[in-house]
């Protein structure tokens, strides 16, 4: 039995699956990973210097324009075979999807109830109240960034989790619960460098789950995985679903 067949057999026998995805799965759709070199006007900035509350307080216009550029990249991208495979997996077996990505590619591929640990780049929030700001307000109130409708001193800000900010408690609770409840956990395209997301496979294993990593590059999680598939997710996941059908 090769690795793809073993993965297919484990998924077919699973009662509950947890899929943890990171930037690598969206990179296959052409979205640069967060720490990749930036292009054009942004080449002289490090993302870590722009994705912080301090950066927004220091220069909100700069941060707003950078996220506008990133939103354009996301809007032009399309879900790839791995995104569609995750959605298909959930139709076959109860699956919790936990993603570190802030794009909406999983949702556009048909995944429902994705747990977005780091927020969403498609959302806009009040910088002070953290309440959502809708598209109509943004369209009627241009600015870099616009003022918030929810607080006189607030500004519109991207609905993502910045360095130095806490993850949404509800999302983290749901992710941890899914890790404890699953019997198969997949880490797909994640560098396993950012916690607490990177700790979810360990939680799952502590509760008896079988763990497979799908990533072309080795990560800190590789030594603890029960199965490692060193291939792009867009190849490995569809192949596993095909093997499931053929077995």
Per the CB < 8 A criterion, the answer to whether 30 and 108 are in contact is: no
CA 4 from chain centre, in angstroms, equals 23
Integer Cα distance of 77 and 92 in angstroms: 27
118 a catalytic residue: yes
Task: State phi, psi for 204 to the nearest 5 degrees.
Answer: -60, -45
Integer Cα distance of 81 and 74 in angstroms: 16
Per the CB < 8 A criterion, the answer to whether 126 and 157 are in contact is: yes
Q: Which two tokens stand for residue 210?
A: 């079988």
Query: Closest Cα partner for 244 from 91, 111, 106?
Result: 91
Integer Cα distance of 205 and 11 in angstroms: 16
Q: Which residue has the tokens 């989790």?
A: 161
Integer Cα distance of 5 and 24 in angstroms: 22
Select which of 118, 150, 151, 207 is catalytic: 118
> Cα–Cα distances in Å, from 38 out to 32, 65, 216?
8, 14, 22
70: exposed, middle or buried (C-beta count within 10 Å: 0-12, 13-18, 19+)? buried
Q: What is the DSSP letter of 224?
A: G
**Which of the residues are catalytic?**
118
């Amino acid at each position: 039995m090769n690795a793809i067949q073993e993965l297919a057999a484990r998924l077919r026998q699973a009662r509950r699956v947890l899929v943890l995805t990171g930037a690598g799965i969206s990179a296959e759709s052409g979205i640069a990973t967060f720490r990749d070199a930036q292009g054009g006007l942004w080449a002289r900035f490090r993302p870590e210097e722009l994705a912080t509350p301090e950066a927004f307080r220091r220069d909100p216009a700069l941060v707003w324009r950078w996220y506008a550029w990133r939103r354009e990249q996301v809007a032009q991208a399309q879900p790839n075979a791995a995104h569609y495979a995750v959605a298909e997996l959930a139709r076959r077996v109860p699956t919790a999807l936990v993603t570190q990505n802030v794009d909406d590619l999983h949702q556009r591929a048909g995944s429902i109830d994705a747990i977005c640990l780091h927020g969403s780049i498609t959302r806009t929030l009040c910088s002070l109240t953290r309440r959502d700001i809708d598209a109509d307000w943004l369209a009627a109130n241009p600015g870099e960034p616009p003022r918030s409708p929810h607080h006189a001193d607030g500004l519109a800000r991207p609905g993502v989790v910045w360095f130095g900010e806490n993850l949404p408690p509800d999302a983290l609770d749901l992710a941890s619960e899914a890790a404890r409840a699953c019997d198969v956990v997949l880490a797909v395209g994640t560098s396993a460098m950012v916690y607490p997301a990177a700790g979810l496979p360990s939680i799952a294993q502590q509760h008896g789950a079988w763990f497979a990593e799908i990533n072309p590059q080795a990560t800190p999680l590789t030594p603890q995985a029960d199965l490692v598939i060193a291939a792009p997710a867009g190849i490995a996941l569809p192949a596993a679903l095909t093997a499931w059908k053929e077995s």
